Chain A
Amino acid sequence: MKKFVKMLVSSAVIGAMAFGMCACTQTTPTAAPTAAPTDGTTAATEAPTDAPAADGLIKVGIINNDPNESGYRTANDRDMKETFTEENGYEASFFYSLKNEDQIAAAQKFIQDEVDYLLISAAGTSGWDGVLEQAQKAGIKVILFDRTIDADESLYEASIVSDMAKEGQQAVDWLASQNLSEYKIVHIQGVMGSSAQIGRSGALDDKVAAEANWSIVTQQTAEWSEETAQQIVQAVIDSGETFNVIYAENDNMAKGAVAALDKANISHGVGKDVIVIGFDCNTWALEELLAGNWNYDGQCNPFQAAYIDNIIKNGVTEKVVIMDEKGFDATTITADDVANYGI
């Protein structure tokens, strides 16, 4: 019942907004005036309306990166598909590409299709101004998720992002809280220049520069690849250098690093010689944490759909929404955490 009311209210709101934006829409006023939407000033001046039940679905065009890109993206896409369903009051169309131009072309197509909302996870940061202006003229609201773009803030409603620097900072703070007498770190980076790499490397670099007992044994990019990470750590071990921390910028690279440690019979995990830090919270990685083989895993939250859903149905509160992201410690993680946060 509650759900039904919610749906009725939301569809009424959308109907009102649609009316506000497009005066020629023919709708029969049926329902009572609803709770004012955030930009309700325009809607409130128009006659209170409710969209007919058949048209009650909110049309959203979702432009995302290729779900095969990574486990993160797969989880993200699944989350989107589960949230934007007809039961939840949406009519969703999806488009995937890793190419900015293709994404922009798809956005133009969605605008022609007259969607109500355009949800974009942009492949590149630039080149979006034109199409966003078109969307604004057509009265289509744009919400960015996961990635920001270089465009004027007025061109989009909200952007829901991860703060990679914060993720890195959380991990570094956790590492500092371990109170080791000396930190000798093998730092395995992601693809250079990616936002995840910049954020996660930045926090560590700052800390190493600031603290006398923190040092980097090696800092290399494995470009998210498990095998390359393994080769890098293998090369460090073969050169006979000692280290006590592996800071890998994603779970796969941490896994590769651990494989090299296993080969050389170096113990790792809770209370062992080497501390292992990964990111992204893949389910299998959290299981490693649960087993005590790794020490820490930083979350990169792929579940933006609920935030977007909330914004569409309840209005914008902040322009830039930074998602809650956790960091899991192997000593405190529970099986529930693995089930809830694993991707």
Chain B
Amino acid sequence: MTSSKISARGFFGKLVRNQLFIPLVALLILVAINLFADPTFFKISLEPSSTGNLILSGNLISIIDNASELAILAIGMTLVTSASGGQDISVGATIAIAGSMILRFVKMVSPDISGGKFAAIIILSFLACVIVSALFGAFNGALVAFFKIQPMVATLILFTAGRSIAAWINNNDNISINDTRFGYFGNFIPGIPVPTPVFITAICLIVIALVLKFTNLRLYAQSVGINASSSRLNGINPKLIKLLTFIILGICVAVCGFIKVSRTSSITYSVIANNIEMDAILAVALGGNNLGGGKFNLTASVIGAYVIQFLTTTLFKFKVSSSEISAYKAVVVIILIFISAPVIRNWIADVRNKNLASRKSKIGKEAN
């Protein structure tokens, strides 16, 4: 009987040290608060929208839908963090660039065209945008990998210039696409009750999961992040790996930009994806990943992204007044970051171990 107790404690210790523990607990706490305050928070209904489509609606759907961009960004940000030991703060600005590019391409063609042609144009403009975003990512990556500039400083360049570039691409015009089909990717496809960004996110997650499973990207990125020179001695090219992670982030940015502009069929250069870089970094931190590089857990980062959106929606739901909302967020973030800090978690695990050890010796004495 005692042995089963001990193993249960051992299991608990493992659980606490698992990277998924903190984001999942945060998620559960948020769920519990909402359940306690108002169970209707979780109500999901299937009702027609103004265009006559049956669509799912409810807070949970909103959360899953609105967290899409952040979850996709968290993928790239985690990889960049792991390999370079720093963060890319230009993602918000480069999302503006990506979005602006797509709008420009789509706007160039005449508005009323047949379905097949339209699909081709969307795919082509998206691909072009992926290439451009990957190039911007490569630019950041090159500065970091070859010129050894700190990631935050290197990406500060595009952070500052990005939104101006985005505005310049479209000649600073107030562009909006009138074709409702363009909005499918950020909202709903007729006949499908689930928001499209959810599918896009799922695709991205599956792709990255497959990449990590069938390539050595995870191992390489982690080893470069832990010790670049020793990984170089082991035949890994750290520069290439760093560059590669920034390019992957660039592709994530392109997808986000596409979803963002599709949501509204328009763009406001100064506001689109504002401060999303901070939320993406926060998602990585919430996932318990070391922001100094090295080992990473993608699942934890992605859950972190959903936690952030859950928090935002909860605060809207509780109608926290405008002037106080950032203070509430800050408090929650401080608590989460504090308990997810490795020092604190090791300390908790140590306390457990000590208890366990004293109990074991007690049991030993009793047996004697």
Residues of A within 8 A of B (CB): 66-71, 74, 189, 192, 218-221, 223-227, 230-232, 234-235, 237-240, 252, 255-256, 259, 261-267, 282-284
Contact = CB atoms under 8 A, between A and B. Distances in A.
Contact of A70 (B59, B66, B270, B325): B270
A224 B321 CA distance: 16
Contacts of A225: 268, 271-272, 274
Contacts of A259: 187, 263-264
B125 interface: no
- Interface size for chain B: under 10, 10 to 19, 20 to 34, or 35 or more residues? 35 or more
A220 B172 contact: no
Nearest to B168: A68
Given A70-B268, A189-B322, A235 B317 contact: yes
Interface stretch (B42-50, B233-241, B347-355): B42-50
Question: What are the nearest 6 A-B pairs in CB distance?
Answer: A221-B322, A235-B316, A68-B167, A262-B50, A238-B59, A225-B271
A194 to B, nearest CB: 12
B174 A224 contact: no
Nearest to B260: A227
A68 B171 CA distance: 10
B231 interface: no
Contacts of B325: 220-221
B11 to A, nearest CB: 38
Interface string B25-68: 00000000000001011010001111100010111001000100
Contacts of B57: 234, 237-238, 263-264
A223 B274 contact: yes
Given A68-B164, A220-B316, A263 B323 contact: no
A333 to B, nearest CB: 19
Given A238-B57, A284-B176, A232 B271 contact: no
Given A224-B271, A238-B58, A192 B49 contact: no
B264 A255 contact: yes
16 contacts: A68-B164, A68-B166, A68-B269, A68-B270, A74-B172, A74-B174, A218-B319, A220-B316, A225-B271, A235-B317, A238-B41, A238-B62, A255-B264, A255-B266, A262-B49, A264-B49
Interface string B238-257: 00000000000000000000
Contact of B323 (A192, A226, A265, A282): A192
Contacts of B62: 231, 234-235, 238
Given A192-B323, A252-B268, A227 B47 contact: no
Contacts of B312: 231
A337 B272 CA distance: 29
B313 A265 contact: no
Contacts of B266: 226, 255, 284
Nearest to A268: B50
A219 B322 contact: yes
B322 A69 contact: no
A283 B176 CA distance: 11
Contact of B271 (A192, A221, A252, A262): A252
Interface in B143-201: 163-164, 166-167, 172, 174, 176, 187-188
Given A225-B272, A231-B316, A238-B57, 17 more contacts: A68-B163, A68-B269, A69-B270, A223-B271, A225-B268, A230-B263, A235-B62, A235-B317, A238-B58, A239-B38, A252-B268, A255-B264, A256-B264, A259-B187, A264-B57, A265-B48, A267-B50
B274 A265 contact: no
Nearest to B171: A74
Interface in B311-340: 312-313, 316-317, 319, 321-323, 325
A132 B335 CA distance: 47
Given A220-B325, A265-B48, A232 B316 contact: yes
A326 B138 CA distance: 49
B274 to A, nearest CB: 6
Interface centre among A238, A239, A262, A284 (most CB of B within 10 A): A238
Contacts of B174: 71, 74, 282-284
Contacts of B167: 67-68
A272 to B, nearest CB: 11
Interface string B256-291: 000010011010111110100000000000000000
Contacts of B41: 238-239
Contacts of A189: 322
Interface string B297-314: 000000000000000110
A265 B271 contact: no
Nearest to B267: A226
Contacts of A227: 66, 260, 263-264
Contacts of A284: 174, 176, 266
Interface centre among B58, B270, B271, B323 (most CB of A within 10 A): B271
B194 to A, nearest CB: 13
A261 B316 CA distance: 16
A282 B187 CA distance: 24
A256 B267 CA distance: 12
Contact of A235 (B48, B59, B263, B270): B59
B271 A264 contact: no
A220 B322 contact: yes
A286 to B, nearest CB: 12
A24 B122 CA distance: 66
A228 to B, nearest CB: 9
A240 B40 contact: yes
B271 A226 contact: yes
